[in-house]
Amino acid sequence: MPAVSFPAARTYQVRVVDAYVITPRMRRVRLAGPDLVGFTALPGQDVVVRLQTPDGPAHRRYTIRNLDPINGAFDLDIVLHGHGPGARWAAGVEPGAELEIFGPRGKVPLATAPAQVFVGDESALPAIAEMAAALPRATEIRAVIEVSDAAERQPMPPEMDVRWLIRGDREPGTADLLLPAIEELSVAGATRHFYLFAESRVVRLLRDALSARGVPLEEISAKGYWNKGRPMRG
């Protein structure tokens, strides 16, 4: 993969200007402010939201979506799961709230391969959508995405071939669905690049499965988006 220059990260003061549900378990929060005018980020990068809670400061990372650097605004699509500080904030925040963020963060650039495959759970949906939309039109794009139920499926770039895996009553953060699905993917033929975005231990299992089938590690971008049983600390 060619060398990539990542935008410098710093602290920004922002305001919530909109917040609404886009699926039963995901809420979109739009941030804006003069400080964000000219803000740059690569597709799939995120920001750290610095929350103030009754138990003290807490930090959560969310993917940047729908960036508008001219007007200084972008969206955060946040999964509403559990009862941690991030989920409580996302479920209850309203326009007018002010907060501090730090970013952009993340060092998983887009590859130049003619075929690209994204594998992940609902926590990776914003990154998969942003990264896929930024690929050249001639790129062959496939995705395997695990969600809790059919209502969590979202519109994706039209050129992407998406296979949705419905978790149902299964516990999130296991490889029960994603591992068999990735073992069914073809790894022969055209040069391709794999992106693995899910719970950290699941990502390791998926990466190992691809490696065992002969996929070179340089053709795999693997990133844990959350840790089962261990929230991100502030």
pLDDT score for 213: 93
- Quote the number of domains for the chain: 2
Residue 92 CA, chain-centre distance (Å), reads 21
**Beta pairing, strands 46-53 & 98-105:** antiparallel
* Whole-Å CA distances, 223 to 93, 121, 123: 28, 12, 11
Q: What range does the domain containing 191 cover?
A: 115-226
pLDDT score for 191: 86
Where a domain ends, among 47, 74, 105? 105
Do residues 51 and 142 both lie within one domain?
no
| Residues 61-79 pLDDT 10s | 999 999 999 999 999 999 9
Do residues 130 and 219 both lie within one domain?
yes
pLDDT score for 189: 67
Q: pTM of the prediction?
A: 0.94
Q: How many residues does the chain have?
A: 234
**Beta pairing, strands 46-53 & 140-147:** unpaired
Rounded CA gap, 205 and 207, in Å? 5
CA 193-106-29 angle, to 5 degrees, is 110
pLDDT score for 1: 62
pLDDT score for 233: 38
Where a domain ends, among 77, 105, 133? 105
| Residues 35-44 pLDDT 10s | 999 999 999 9
Kindly tell me the sign of the dihedral angle through the C-alpha atoms of 228, 144, 128, 95. negative
Where a domain ends, among 105, 126, 144? 105
Do residues 23 and 125 both lie within one domain?
no
| Burial call 64-82: b when 16+ CB within 10 Å, e when fewer | bbebeeeebbbbbbbbebe
pLDDT score for 2: 62
One digit per residue, pLDDT tens: the chain, 234 residues? 667 889 999 999 999 999 999 999 999 999 999 999 999 999 999 999 999 888 889 999 999 999 999 999 999 999 998 778 888 999 999 999 999 999 999 999 999 999 999 999 999 999 999 999 999 999 999 999 999 999 999 999 999 999 999 999 999 999 999 999 999 998 776 689 999 999 999 999 999 999 999 999 999 999 999 998 765 433
